[in-house]
Structure 1
Amino acid sequence: MTGATEAVVAASETFLGLLSDQQRQRAVYDRDDTDTLAGWTNLPVGREQDRNGVGLRDLNEEQRAAAMAVADAVLSDEGFEELRAVVAAGNVLNERGGGNTSFGSELFFFAFFGEPDLADRFTVQIGGHHLAVTTTYDGGRVMPTPQFTGVDPRAFEVSGGRVEPMRDEAEAVFDLLAALGERTRDGARIDGEFAEILVGPGEDGTFPEEQEGVRVSDLPAEQRQMVSEAVRAWVGDSDERVADALMAQYEAEFDRTYVGWAGSTDRDEPGSYVRIDGPRLWIEFSNQAQTGSGDELHYHSVYRDKQRDYGLVPRGEQR
């Protein structure tokens, strides 16, 4: 995956080269500053800077274009379009809230942990309301987790066109649940209520000890394929070369991966919750009941790799 790293290094060097000394100091952190790296959140942005890095609001037009080129290099075409749509949703909230300064397309931030380099480890972090993209590069190794994606409102119009930033994710998980037979679906139910995702911001490493739900390898081929499609809805936001390699690894572990749900199997019901839990893979999707957009619900989700979040290498494995 050297090509993926090369593209991000080139775009990052261009962006950083356009910054003033003061802006660069805000954008670049020590690569081993793990506490700051882990300090991401999905909450609205405060009036004072409360995200890592330099914000779009502090950049001129040329610098903003270069920042978005970094995001484009980090993500797949689908992932980049989703990022742009989540950013656009912030503008909708801003308008509906009468100019609420916690929302808007200017309130997204770009941070680098370590200098972008083809050989040495560095991390690119992009954050704002309902968005936290953290991708670590270590030579040929690339790890795009943790990744938080949410959206409020779920759907809106821009220039006369309908935008649904997380339609693919929602359709993938709820179509999968609908395809399960009643007996299998009952067996996949997780006890309890989940008003929020479990392993979100500030919850690194707090995965449940016991896996719950139905084992993917016990499902018929068509339903296993639907699980793959659901997983790719998140993993596929990364550069295609990165996503393909990860999908192969996650699918190879479907005999130890479980799908579970709680609350409801209705995509329009507040409190509906879906989980995909493997030896490494962790995906959560939650319908949030509280919203500032006027809609009855909105989405939160997280994609993590239990062994490699932030690019960590499992003990005993050579770098």
Structure 2
Amino acid sequence: MAGSQAGAAARMTEAATTFLAALSAEQRAAATAPFDTGDHRDWTYLPGSRPGLPLADMDDAQQGLAMELLATGLSAAGTDRAGAIMALDAVLRELEREAGVSNWERRDAKRYWFRVLGDPGGDAPWAWRVNGHHLAVHLTVVGDRVAGTPQFFGANPALVPSGPHAGLRTLPESEDLARVLLGSLDADRRAVAIVDPIAPGDILTRHDPVADIGRVPRGLAYADMTEPQQGHLTTLLRHYLDRLTPEVAEESWQELVVAGLEQVTFCWAGSEQRGLGHYYALTAPPFLLEYDNTQNDNNHIHTVWRDLRHDWGEDLLAAHYARQH
């Protein structure tokens, strides 16, 4: 499957090289680090500064090149969602300012950091990331292969309650598609899928460098669903995978198919009623998707995709170093 990703790897290399060439020496120093830098696997979805160069410290042309780099790692739909997440921080800024929330100034649509690890023009592995509040996109490039996890998309507020953007939902499908699947289950299958009447306060794997998939309950297996229910689960799976650029998303999907979709499980925790706290996960170890909406009066979504084989390009790097030695 290596050839199928060669185009994606080439687009990322070109975009990263062009972006870095447009920066001043000082900007480039902030935006780059060695591939083996000690914080390579550090990431978070919480507010706060990140290593790298933020959009706020770029001019308009540089910001455009940065966003072009982001678009090489995501599908058109994924790029739109990522942009919407960034824009939502400006909406949250105004909501918190009007509500008198302290530190509302930290919300900013340009507080998203871009960073390139290693040399995108060389032969060695390299990586790039975009990280800020509720957005974490990590791509690792090894030759003509690409790994695209960990990946995090979030939304606060999930539904904008007031103001000029009232009614806006930034990640509607992440909730709606899961509710379609849950609603399709008969009573016996729903009893297996619902693992707890109370949702956890956040995604269970947090933002750890290595995800502990053992934290996540199993629930109902794909193999134990009817064909229509399996179709709903497949649609939900593809919703997450298809945030990535198509070549990488399709390979991730084919790996799941080859491994056997029957091992994929769906679990739900919390209320089935809209507006109340809820959580769900899809797992097929070592792969998982998690969603949680419990914070800020159940109006605050976190979603994450982790894969112990591919997080940080682990399997690609192992194969690369084995060939080198």
Q: State the TM-score, normalizing by the size of structure 2.
A: 0.88
Report how far residue 257 of structure 1 moved. 1.7
Label 1:82 to 1:210 Cα distance change in 2 as closer, same or farther (>3 A).
closer
Deviations 1:205-260 (A, max 9, x none): 32217852111122122211211111111111100111111112123332222111
CA RMSD of aligned residues (A): 2.3
Residue number in structure 2 paired with 1:134: 138
Q: Would the aligned equivalents of 2:269 and 2:280 in 1 still touch at CA under 8 Å?
A: yes
SS of match in other structure, 1:101: helix
Match of 1:108 among 112, 133, 152: 112
SS of match in other structure, 1:200: coil
Match of 1:38 among 36, 41, 63: 41
For 2:271 and 2:163, how far apart are their aligned partners in 1? 31
Residue number in structure 2 paired with 1:78: 77
Corresponding letter in the other structure for 1:304: R
Q: Would the aligned equivalents of 2:92 and 2:107 in 1 still touch at CA under 8 Å?
A: yes
Identity %: 26
Corresponding letter in the other structure for 2:184: A
Residue number in structure 1 paired with 2:21: 17
SS of match in other structure, 1:97: helix
Alignment of 1:153-302 (within 5 A): 153-156=157-160, 163-191=168-196, 193-202=199-208, 204-208=210-214, 212-252=218-258, 253-270=260-277, 272-290=278-296, 296-302=298-304
Q: Would the aligned equivalents of 2:145 and 2:316 in 1 still touch at CA under 8 Å?
A: no
SS of match in other structure, 2:105: coil
Q: Would the aligned equivalents of 2:42 and 2:209 in 1 still touch at CA under 8 Å?
A: no
For 1:149 and 1:201, how far apart are their aligned partners in 2? 12
For 1:113 and 1:162, how far apart are their aligned partners in 2? 39
Q: Would the aligned equivalents of 2:137 and 2:150 in 1 still touch at CA under 8 Å?
A: yes
Deviations 1:35-91 (A, max 9, x none): 41222111112xxxx202100110111111110111111110000000010011100
Report how far residue 288 of structure 1 moved. 2.4
Residue number in structure 1 paired with 2:151: 147
Label 1:51 to 1:190 Cα distance change in 2 as closer, same or farther (>3 A).
same
Q: Would the aligned equivalents of 1:40 and 1:52 in 2 still touch at CA under 8 Å?
A: no
SS of match in other structure, 2:107: coil
Residue number in structure 2 paired with 1:307: 309
Report how far residue 281 of structure 1 moved. 1.8
Label 1:260 to 1:160 Cα distance change in 2 as closer, same or farther (>3 A).
closer
For 2:165 and 2:88, how far apart are their aligned partners in 1? 14
Corresponding letter in the other structure for 1:11: A
For 2:156 and 2:92, how far apart are their aligned partners in 1? 7
SS of match in other structure, 1:142: strand
Corresponding letter in the other structure for 1:312: E
Q: Would the aligned equivalents of 1:5 and 1:118 in 2 still touch at CA under 8 Å?
A: no
SS of match in other structure, 1:195: coil
SS of match in other structure, 2:268: strand
SS of match in other structure, 1:223: helix
Deviations 1:162-205 (A, max 9, x none): 64221121111121111111110101122464111011212523
Report how far residue 148 of structure 1 moved. 1.1
Label 1:194 to 1:154 Cα distance change in 2 as closer, same or farther (>3 A).
same
Structure 1, unaligned runs of 5 or more: none
Label 1:160 to 1:42 Cα distance change in 2 as closer, same or farther (>3 A).
closer
Report how far residue 315 of structure 1 moved. 9.9
Q: Would the aligned equivalents of 2:200 and 2:294 in 1 still touch at CA under 8 Å?
A: no
Q: State the TM-score, normalizing by the size of structure 1.
A: 0.90
Residue number in structure 2 paired with 1:120: 124
Report how far residue 290 of structure 1 moved. 2.2
Q: Would the aligned equivalents of 1:85 and 1:163 in 2 still touch at CA under 8 Å?
A: no
Number of residue pairs aligned between Structure 1 and Structure 2: 309
Deviations 1:80-126 (A, max 9, x none): 00001001110001112228221111100101111114743111110
